[in-house]
Amino acid sequence: MVRGRRSGIRNPAYTLPMPLFEHHLFVCCNERPPDHPRGCCSAKCSVAIRDALKAAVAQAGLKGRVRVNQAGCLDQCELGPTIVVYPEAVWYGHVRLEDVPAIVSEHLLGGRPVERLRLSAEQINQKRG
């Protein structure tokens, strides 16, 4: 018997090609109670940022090449709103709505991360309560 098959029936999900995105953005939209000590990205307009990124990606003609997704907690609450861009694993922090055009034009179209928004490895890997 071949592993992953039962009764000779193949799972069609394994035969469909996965779309390959040039970039995949995850925007933290986690929501916590207002009195939570770490805060949350949702309270800092992350949903509006995600929506603006989706619209800007489409307007730039990148739909199908770039994917923007809502994420749960990325564990960088104090640095939020946060976005991580793959495959480069570039982390952005303290993102505002007015930063969306720069992320699209400089990073997604130009291939250069927006350094003023970029979080360092030290910032990302800090222990938090």
How far is Cα 92 from Cα 10, in angstroms, rounded to an integer? 41
Q: What local confidence, expressed as pLDDT, does residue 124 receive?
A: 87
Q: What local confidence, expressed as pLDDT, does residue 12 receive?
A: 57
Domain boundaries in the chain?
Answer: 47-80+99-113
pLDDT category at 4 given cuts 50, 70, 90 is: very low
The residues near 123 (Cβ < 8 Å, ≥ 6 apart) are: 76, 79, 91, 93
Summarize the confidence of residues 100-127 as an average pLDDT.
93
Q: What local confidence, expressed as pLDDT, does residue 28 receive?
A: 95
Share of the chain above pLDDT 70, in %: 83
